[in-house]
Amino acid sequence: MAHKYLKHKWQKISLAVVLVFTVFVLLPALFINSYWSPILEGRVKDIVIKSSDSLYTVSFSSAELHVLRGTIVILNITLKPDTSVYNAKKKAHLAPNNLVELHIKKLVLSRIHPFRLYFRNKLDIGQVMLYNPVLNVSYQLNHTRDTVLKDNRTAWQKISKNLHYIHIGDILMGDVKFMYKDYSGNKLVISQLKEMNLSAHDLLIDSATQTDKSRVLYCKDITAELNNYNGKTPNGLYSYNIKSLKLSTSKSQLTVSGLILKPAATEIFFNESHRDRFTFRLDSAQLRNFDYITYHKYRSLTASKLILSNGSLQIFANPNHLKKKEDKIRSFPNVALNNISTDIKIDTVLLHYINITYNEFNVDSKKTGTLTFNNTNGRALNITNNKAALKKNNISTILLSTYFMNRGKFDADINFNLTDKNNSFGVKGKLGPMNLQALNQAVMPLGMIKINSGTLNQFDFDIKANRNGAEGKVELLYNDAKITMLKADTTNDKLKRKTIASLYTNIFILKHNNPDKPGMQPRIVYVNFVRKPENAFFKTIWKTLLNGLKPSIGFDKKTEQAMIYMLNQQEINKQNHKIKKEQRKERRAERQRKKEKKRLETGG
């Protein structure tokens, strides 16, 4: 049969070609595959040791070179630091802040040029795929700036004797298991990540790129994506979730989508903590011109702009502050910023459509009052705790535009002194026309007052404050204000009308207009508020404004004392009337008992 097959000339030629291909291509390829594997292993290990200054070593179970396919397959790779070298560098103050340990089940290098590597010392790889990578990073603050090494050569200078250049088109890692250990604080903090994808593009190490600052780790771009990340704060009072996070080094941009910070249930939270309770939701947060390398090395967050879009912030004042006299100065933004351990320098923060809600529980009314600031837009400048930056500019300015109680247009200008020991700040505000009845959801529970009618024409204030208190001026212009005084009805769990007090207030105390008559000068109130340590930032502002609002409508200290005296007298009279009524009842009962006794004695 074979003889018949080879009877034609073209068949013999085809067989000869196959035999030549087998002898001169396949057999050498098989020989090279087995011969170059140990050479390849030696080269890889040597490159890793030299480029890391002996800090890292690499090992793997096998390395296979497939010349015809242009691929290299390396199995069970482990990259880990040499602890003795690390400790020696640490003693010499030359140790890096980050240590990396990497385990890879399978590494595939595609579109390689082995002859170029062997004969011309040029490593050129089209794609690197890492399967089942496990990445462990530990952070310890050994130094806050780049150290001067004894061997301060670049990576290219270190490998140039063995390689003329290294080029890799794409490096792809999917479903990375990542563990991060932070030893920089008082206790170890461990973070574990899943559903993370990493990719690097156009890695090039040569004489030109060794000083190219547009590249990160010699790559034109490094992209990291993290999906569905969630966890809890160390105290367990908050849980957080991030739908997606993406970092691009070529754009110097970090984008976070679907951020949620959720506190524990109200009862649990307030039983465990004396701090205010926050709930935060955000559709998008974007850091621009984010210096990732500085953050990676030294935990220093530097960016030109942070954009926060479409979200909500809810603050619930802790009702248990009276049980523990804790100074809530940490709630002041300038104090909170300085207490953050991370070094921060952000030139501008932009807010787009953020809804802010402040809730406070009143022990007397047993009700919760609510203040809202809807569709808040604005910008904050010079958000920093960096010492060098603060020497140049220690003032942070926040400009906000919002709708108070979803009604009146409200503009605010806030300035924080970031270095003042008394934590001073100033706030100016202007509120436009709105119906005063919209304030009832706040003033009824918190002030025990119901606004029956009234129109706000304009509200202006200018306040200077610090940790000790606040002073400034308040101007409230309004018309046709009428109110009802309230008291708690604990039996029916509601607020009910104080009839006499309401009549007295509307007739003798309340000023129904400001100015009193058209053409007259309006009343301006100068406030001086003494802050209690348990007063948080928002409560300090609210209490200061309230001290100006009450005199504006007629409730100055004198009238308020008169009002309190009148209400006390009314309560005293009420109690006296009740006592007299009980006494009359008791006398009637005593007379009845005497009559009954006399009737029994006389037999009648």
Predicted TM-score (pTM) of the model is: 0.77
Helix (H) or strand (E) holding 156: helix 155-159
Most confident of the ranges 117-126, 294-303, 337-346: 337-346
Q: 17-31, 52-66, 330-344, 456-470 — which is least confidently predicted?
A: 17-31
- What confidence category does residue 62 fall into, taking pLDDT thresholds of 50, 70 and 90? confident
Most confident of the ranges 88-92, 295-299, 436-440: 436-440
**Predicted confidence (pLDDT) at residue 26 exceeds the cutoff of 50:** no
**Predicted confidence (pLDDT) at residue 323 exceeds the cutoff of 60:** no
Give Rg (Cα) of the chain: 38
Q: What is the pLDDT of residue 528?
A: 93
For residue 180, what are the CA distances in angstroms to 174, 189, 360?
A: 18, 8, 39
SS3 category, 75: strand
Please give the distance of CA 99 from its chain centroid, rounded to a whole number: 26
DSSP letter for 559, please.
H
Contact between 362 and 402 (Cβ < 8 Å): no
* Degrees, nearest 5: CA angle 38-42-45: 135
- Return all residues near 558 (Cβ < 8 A) that are at least 6 apart: none
**CA-CA-CA-CA torsion sign (363, 364, 366, 369):** negative
DSSP letter for 216, please.
B
- What confidence category does residue 508 fall into, taking pLDDT thresholds of 50, 70 and 90? low
**Predicted confidence (pLDDT) at residue 118 exceeds the cutoff of 70:** no
Tally of residues, the chain: 604
Please give the distance of CA 272 from its chain centroid, rounded to a whole number: 22
CB burial of residue 480 (10 Å; 0-12, 13-18, 19+): exposed
Q: What is the C-alpha to C-alpha distance for residues 300 and 341, in angstroms, rounded to an integer?
A: 9
Q: Which residue has the tokens 């007298």?
A: 569
Q: What is the pLDDT of residue 37?
A: 56
Helices (H), 340-439: 387-392
Q: What is the mean pLDDT of residues 330-341?
A: 92
Q: What is the pLDDT of residue 150?
A: 57
Tell me which amino acid residue 596 is: E
Q: What is the mean pLDDT of residues 538-555?
A: 86
Q: What is the pLDDT of residue 29?
A: 43
**Predicted confidence (pLDDT) at residue 24 exceeds the cutoff of 50:** no
Q: Where are the domains of the chain?
A: 27-221, 300-555, 565-604
- What confidence category does residue 68 fall into, taking pLDDT thresholds of 50, 70 and 90? low
For residue 362, what are the CA distances in angstroms to 151, 224, 320, 367, 410?
A: 66, 48, 11, 6, 25
Closest to 430 in 3D by CA, of 545, 553, 554? 545
Strand-strand pairing, 395-404 and 367-384: antiparallel
Most confident of the ranges 125-134, 267-276, 508-517, 522-531: 522-531
Q: What is the C-alpha to C-alpha distance for residues 537 and 531, in angstroms, rounded to an integer?
A: 10
Q: 33-42, 224-233, 307-316, 532-541 — which is least confidently predicted?
A: 33-42
Q: How many CB atoms lie within 10 A of CB 547?
A: 18
Q: What is the mean pLDDT of residues 302-313?
A: 96
% pLDDT > 70, the chain: 85
What confidence tens digit (pLDDT) does each residue in 220-274 have? 998 989 888 888 887 889 999 999 999 998 889 999 999 999 999 988 998 888 8
Most confident of the ranges 88-92, 323-327, 389-393: 389-393
Tokens coding 449: 């007052």
Q: 79-88, 275-284, 563-572 — which is least confidently predicted?
A: 563-572
Contact between 254 and 246 (Cβ < 8 Å): yes
Kindly report the backbone phi and psi dihedral angles of residue 59, in degrees, each rounded to the nearest multiple of 5, phi listed first: -140, 155
Q: What is the pLDDT of residue 447?
A: 80
**Predicted confidence (pLDDT) at residue 334 exceeds the cutoff of 70:** yes
Q: What is the pLDDT of residue 4?
A: 52
**Predicted confidence (pLDDT) at residue 499 exceeds the cutoff of 60:** yes
